[in-house]
Amino acid sequence: MIEIERVSKTYGRGDACVHALRDVSLRIEQGEFVAIMGPSGSGKSTLLHIIGCLDRPDGGAFRLDGTDLTRLSDDALAGVRNRMIGFVFQQFHLLPFADAVENVDLPLVYAGRSGGDTVAAARLADVGLAARASHRPSEMSGGEQQRVAIARALVNDPPVILADEPTGNLDTKSEAEIVALLEAMHRGGRTIVMVTHEPSIARHAGRIVRMRDGRIIADERTEPRDSGPLPPAPPLPPGAARAHAGRAMFRDHLRQALRAIATHPMRSVLSTLGILIGVAAVIAMLALGRGARQSIEARLASMGSNLLQIRPGGRRRGGVVLEAGTVTRFTLQDAEAIGRLPQIRRVAPSVTGRGQTVFGNRNWNTMIEGTGTEYEEIRAARPPVGRFFTPEEVRVREKVALVGATVVRELFEGADPIGAVIRINRINFRVIGILPEKGATGWRDQDDTIIIPITTAMYRLLGKDYVDAIFAEVADPGLMAEAEEAIRELVIRRHRLTGDTADSFQIRNMAEIQEALVATTRTMTWLLGSIAAISLLVGGIGIMNIMLVSVTERTREIGLRKAIGARGSDIMAQFVIESAVMTLSGGLAGVLCGIGTALLMARLAGWAVLVSTSAVALAVSFSVAVGLVFGIWPARRAAGLNPIEALRYE
């Protein structure tokens, strides 16, 4: 069963070099019970570790059941440990957060045969611990813990059992129980190799190998015992082993990851806190940015689309700046001429002024704007209540008015304004409509206004024979530049402007202003999102640090898992899953906090916020990606640990 030929093993280099094994040769037949004895430093534990594929020899050959294991990969050796070898350690090496059944079931997990703890429970019954199956190691005596370790060694029906000082930490009664179990396994046909210091324990073996200074100095055979081969375990159906292993491995890795997280709740909470804050910040900042953008777009839409605003401009003469309109004043005829240009769809001339408005015993000073009927479409001013004035009302200078939401609130105190008569600068006007709400832009409240027919404003209320501005809606966005140039040429020609007076008016492209505001909002959204993403990145670094600490704290656990058959990919998967679970938990909690923060900002500060599913999905996906990326390094570090060095870690 076991063949060792001229095996040597050296630790350290130079003056610190220790020759643990020196050309050791040993042959152990199937079914033998061999005890290896010797003083500390004799090399007996090193020999046992090489037989158990926990360590590699520097030279020589090692065969197990006729297979040369010297040059096998680490994953292949993990498979040999899982299928062929059962370990019984002096320190028990049980997982503290798992109960007895889960500890015994662990080798089956890495064999892809975990079957609902049925086999593990049966093995516990074989060692007399059926009643303690749900107890954790901290709730058991030393003898009971060692029996759990023996049940774990037997759960995969391995042909070889390796016991390293199995009674070293036990009292006399527990010692006798463990020795009896080893003898029972021997009678069942298993090959047992036991390392011990105690002659009384070694006498139970059929053969005693003595070592000193890395060499075998004696090989004594006592009275042989009867033994028979073990019946082979029934194989899984073809193809079923791989599929079943995949399902079991992920399920059990996930379960163990949750257990490990729950074992250190404070550390886990602190780990996820950085992710939680980062995700919440991403969602809240993106919600704030999108809300601001939507609000700006809504207000820009209220200004109208494809809009040009023509206004008289100031002009410098010598050292004196002349008032706007001193050189060029626009008239209603100018507006009509601009409206006839082929690039223009609609025009709306405008005059403005302040007026004292009175209704009943309340009064309010507000902005008065006179305009034409096209204003309703150009400036998106279709009244939700009432109507706009008609061309006939403009022609006859009718005293009708549309009032903004602020004026309604200040004058009417909840009463219906439609049909009411108000006085503007002592002139009676009949209210025919309420303007749509547009909100405040900078220092100006766009809802604090009253709109009346332009002819009424010019000749009855404000006393102007000119217009303050002309709004022109271009037929197509692609004609904006062409329309602007056509208007400029028309105004210069109509007002006979030359040389130094050609720049005495302004044409403002409202589309360019809209684009600039939207671009600014987009930039601010990305800026806020980037700042939040940095906090999420910092949270990921925190996860990585905690996972690195976890690898250090759980070094012996990692060594145990590798000793019973876990491959490097298994260890890596478990730690990556732990990291992903923590970041996903933090991400989901961060989603709730982020949405709550956004709603709180909207309620307390009055800011416009818009939480989108894409922002939530982005934040959660990014958090999981952070967990996976930052969990890979600690996982690789854990997967690369040498099993025997990990088991010895203090």
CA distance 640 to 618: 33
- Got the DSSP string for 350-410? EEEEEEEEEETTEEEEEEEEEE-TTHHHHTT---SEE-PPPHHHHHTT--EEEE-HHHHHH
Give the range among 8-12, 94-98, 267-271 with minimum mean pLDDT: 267-271
The continuous run of DSSP H or E covering 286 comes out as helix 265-303
Indicate whether 588 pLDDT > 70: yes
Give the residue, 310 or 296, on which the prediction is more confident. 310
Confidence of residue 401 (pLDDT cuts 50, 70, 90): very high
Give the pLDDT band (50/70/90) at residue 224: low
In this predicted structure, the answer to whether residue 492 has a pLDDT above a threshold of 80 is yes
In terms of Cα–Cα distance, which of 120, 116, 111 is closest to 241? 111
| Homologous superfamily of the 2-234 domain (CATH) | P-loop containing nucleotide triphosphate hydrolases (3.40.50.300)
**Interior/surface letters 249-275, b for 16+ CB within 10 angstroms, e for the rest:** beebbbebbeebbeebeeebeebbebb
Report which of residues 352 and 571 the model is more confident about. Answer: 352
What's the mean pLDDT in 166-189? 84
Tell me what the mean pLDDT of segment 481-507 comes to.
Answer: 84
Q: What is the pLDDT of residue 82?
A: 84
Q: Is the pTM of this model over 0.75?
A: no
Mean pLDDT of 451-479: 90
Cβ atoms of 90 and 113 closer than 8 Å = no
Q: Which residues contact 6 (CB under 8 A, 6 or more apart)?
A: 23, 24, 25, 59, 60, 61
Confidence bin at 305 (pLDDT 50/70/90): low
pLDDT, residue 237, reads 37
Highest average pLDDT, of 112-121, 256-265, 346-355, 479-488, comes from 346-355
What single DSSP character describes residue 457?
A: I
Backbone torsions φ then ψ of 246, nearest 5 degrees: -60, -45
Residue 591 has pLDDT above 70, yes or no: yes
pLDDT for residue 386 is more than 50: yes
- Read off the pLDDT band of 188 (50, 70, 90): confident
User: According to the per-residue pLDDT averaged within each range, which of 91-95, 425-429, 564-568, 619-623 is highest?
Assistant: 425-429
Residues 6+ apart with CB under 8 A from 480: 306, 308, 474, 509, 511
> What pLDDT does 53 receive?
86
Name the band, by pLDDT with cuts 50, 70 and 90, for residue 157: confident
pLDDT tens for 195-219 read: 988 888 888 888 999 999 889 998 8
Specify which of 207-216, 242-251, 637-646 reaches the highest per-range mean pLDDT.
207-216
Average pLDDT taken over every residue of the chain: 81
State which amino acid sits at residue 14.
G
pLDDT reading at 241 higher than 60: no
User: In this predicted structure, what is the pLDDT of residue 555?
Assistant: 82
Residue 388 sits at the vertex; the CA angle it makes with 384 and 393, to the nearest 5 degrees, is 165
Tens of pLDDT, residues 495-520? 888 766 667 788 887 666 666 666 77
Q: Residue 514 has what pLDDT?
A: 62
Q: What is the pLDDT of residue 238?
A: 40
Measured between alpha carbons, how far is 577 from 102 in angstroms, rounded to an integer? Answer: 19
pLDDT of residue 303: 56
Helix (H, G, I), strand (E, B) or coil at 129: coil
Q: Report the alpha-carbon distance of residue 487 to residue 339 in Å, rounded.
A: 10
Given a cut of 70, is residue 529 above it in pLDDT?
Answer: no
Average the pLDDT over each of 96-100, 297-301, 328-332, 382-386 and give the range with the smallest value: 297-301
Rg, C-alpha atoms of the chain: 44
Q: Which of 308-317, 427-436, 446-455, 557-566 has the lowest mean pLDDT?
A: 308-317
Asked whether residue 428 carries a pLDDT value surpassing 90, the answer given is: yes
pLDDT score of 45:
86
* The residue to which tokens 């033998």 are assigned: 32
The dihedral built from the CA positions of residue 539, 541, 543 and 549, taken in this order, carries a sign that is: negative
Question: Does the structure show a pLDDT above 50 at 538?
Answer: yes
pLDDT band at 247 (very low <50, low <70, confident <90, very high): very low
Average pLDDT, stretch 552-572? 82
Share of the chain above pLDDT 70, in %: 85
User: Would you place residue 236 in the very low, low, confident or very high pLDDT band (cuts 50, 70, 90)?
Assistant: very low
Q: Where are the domains of the chain?
A: 2-234, 252-297+516-647, 329-496
